[in-house]
Structure 1
């Protein structure tokens, strides 16, 4: 898996891209959390859940179905906020879906594991992308703090962090150019 840091960075970036208004910053945080959420299945290791089962790591929680469920629940919860601070429901649902689904996309680009069950539970086959530049992260916290963890962070800085920064920079340039155009009268 990619680390929680890489997942959260991509989720927050998606939040800023889809809901750029600063008043929506709580939704950027929610998107970061949704992007890391599918790894809740790693608790199964401690409970004896086999890695390759439906409930194993990179199984159902990494599927597009799970992303849709998280998006629907998140959009419903978003309706509880004050109307002036609430983003459009469809845009919020899209953000939360993309953020949660991005988890599986990053994991399918890692160098380890059994692949991602994108279409679980109907089609439990697991997939990797042909391009797999992200170093797989250790599942334990202890294993992450050391040379292996630094290698993971370095590969994520290059393959996740840099593209996120480029997208945010492009957004800044694009919105800045649109604001600066003179109005013809």
Structure 2
């Protein structure tokens, strides 16, 4: 169904069953409502497809899934049974640790180039990044197969709090 939104001097007529307030637009709504051929083409301001939209839970709250992932504490067990792509070629128990970046080498090409450019007079030569926006980090797990010692990495979603193999202290009285 196509709805033509046009204007007259007051509340407009029913156009395709819709009451249109056309007081502010300045066009003749009666010509469009009656379907005059000469005025219809330049009087139509907006066409709208009136399809029924089915709302899903994520559309009403667009950050619903992400906000939940950011606020909960992630607790991962120290062992996990998952597929081993190494020699095993089947599901096996893996030891889980958190990935940590290694120490930056002074002999990497980028570091050597940066140091040579910084030498001498002239101050800071490369831009220093100051616009940090993220408050969370993506958690990367390092999985090592207990049988064949093959290692692989698994990235998790963003979270502020991450624990590896610790049980959260229960609040309140326990029986």
Instruction: Give the TM-score normalised by structure 1.
Output: 0.21
- Larger RCO (alpha carbons 8 Å, 6+ apart): 1
Instruction: Give the TM-score normalised by structure 2.
Output: 0.22
Which structure is larger by alpha-carbon Rg, 1 or 2?
A: 2
- Answer 1 or 2: which has greater strand percent: 2
